[in-house]
Amino acid sequence: MPERITLDRKEFEAFIKDNQALVANSEQLMKKIDELENNNRQLREELNSTRAKLESLEVTAAGSSRQADDAIKSARETVARIIRETDKRLSA
């Protein structure tokens, strides 16, 4: 096997130029990947935060709904009692 390799200078320079272009493109792609990973991380954090807020709102809404149901039940009981009392007084 020969210890010396002969290359055409123009071919070698073209190879170097292509190689440099590939390295530059690779660096741009890596930078873009880093940006996308950061965006993905931020979006995941926002999603988790929004989910937590939604869960909190659901708990609050459920509590408010129970309070409203209790208030309506109490009002119905009061109206029913007033109607019974009124019927008793009118019957007497």
76 is a domain residue:
yes
List pLDDT tens digits, range 37-88. Answer: 999 999 999 999 999 999 999 989 888 888 888 899 999 999 999 999 998 8
Q: Is 82 part of a structural domain of the chain?
A: yes
User: Quick one: three-class SS letters along the chain?
Assistant: CCCCCCCCHHHHHHHHHHHHHHHHHHHHHHHHHHHHHHHHHHHHHHHHHHHHHHHHHHHHHHHHHHHHHHHHHHHHHHHHHHHHHHHHHHHC
Domain count along the chain:
1
In a domain, 20, yes or no: no
Q: Does 78 reside within a domain?
A: yes
Whether 72 maps to a domain, the answer reads yes
Span 1-28, average pLDDT: 90
- Place 90 in a pLDDT band, splitting at 50, 70 and 90: confident
Domain extent for 45: 41-92
Provide mean pLDDT across the span 10-20. 94
Is the residue at 54 inside a domain? yes
pLDDT of residue 6: 83
Does 9 have pLDDT greater than 70? yes
Residue 34, domain member (yes or no): no
Confirm whether 31 is domain-assigned: no
